[in-house]
Amino acid sequence: MSFHDIIGNEKVVQRMSQAIISRNISHAYLLEGDRTIDKLSIAENLAKAILCEEVTGDSCERCSSCMKMNHGNHEDVIYIKAEGNSIKDESIEEMQGKIRNKPYSGDRNVVIVKDAGTMTLRAQNRLLKTLEEPAPGTVLILLSESMENLTQTILSRCIIYKLNPSQMPEYGMSMEGAILIADMLLEKAAFYKISKKISEFTTDRETAIELLDALENWYRDLAVSTYDVKGHLVFQTERRKEIQKRSRQYKGDALKDAIGAIEQARNDLNRNLNINYTMKNMILTLIT
């Protein structure tokens, strides 16, 4: 798999490719996007293109480096992931020890930090030392669903690529359901009617979270459209006029409160609370 095989977020991928061609490669990247986006695949393809022995802006799929990436055994790629619910200080310290060594086969070490937003504050502070004084040739790629869980000092030292979920083909069904549910709430439909609709998305935890992601992105677009007149910040660019029109129907902190209720539901699902109970409780919160 190469950059050409990634469906959606083509502009972001193109920017990555151009940076590699020009050899203007940063020491740190942050890929932000909800769980509907396969951020790990994008990160691995970025790493593969950076390490490729042929500097084409993409992976050649022929050289020894690309072959190692395809088989998941590249010595110069280091993965960090959460142990339990968070990435601990010890994991960052271990990574720092590894990147002090020269790369085995090329001229770069690439570190991919999965679920970077789960890093403890102590782990983030330790990582900051690496971002401030990176080992020569080291590239860090952080993956996160939200930048809000990362300190500003870390964000300021990363090239941030915000991945747009609306550009992913499988996102359509969840978004259509989210818009319909949001409209039913806006029109103050009966609780049982909204519950019946939302039950279509509670077959499993993953589907429920995908709906929450879509619903939150919809409310986010409505919120930013109040000051983003040209629609540069909205995800659903093809619905820009529709979004601007609907946003006027929300008063005060209604959109902010709605996003807060969705975040609470997401946290409840992550704590393994009952799916139906969690989603219906969210609806009750949004109704009142």
CATH number of this structure's domain 169-287: 1.20.272
Instruction: Name the stretches of the chain with pLDDT < 70.
Output: 166-172, 229, 231-232
Name the DSSP letter for residue 262: H
Domain positions in the chain: 3-163, 169-287
Is residue 35 within 8 A of residue 167, CB to CB? The reply is no
Of the candidates 118, 286, 120, the residue with the CA atom closest to the CA atom of residue 212: 286
Task: Give the per-residue pLDDT at 147.
Answer: 83
What gap in Å lies between CA 3 and CA 187, rounded to an integer? 43
* Phi/psi-derived region of residue 8, left when phi > 0, alpha when psi is between -120 and 50, beta in every other case: left
Task: Give the per-residue pLDDT at 149.
Answer: 85
The residue type found at 208 is A
Per-residue pLDDT of 48-97, as tens digits, reads: 999 999 989 999 999 999 999 999 999 999 999 998 889 999 999 999 99
3-163: in CATH 3.40.50.720: no
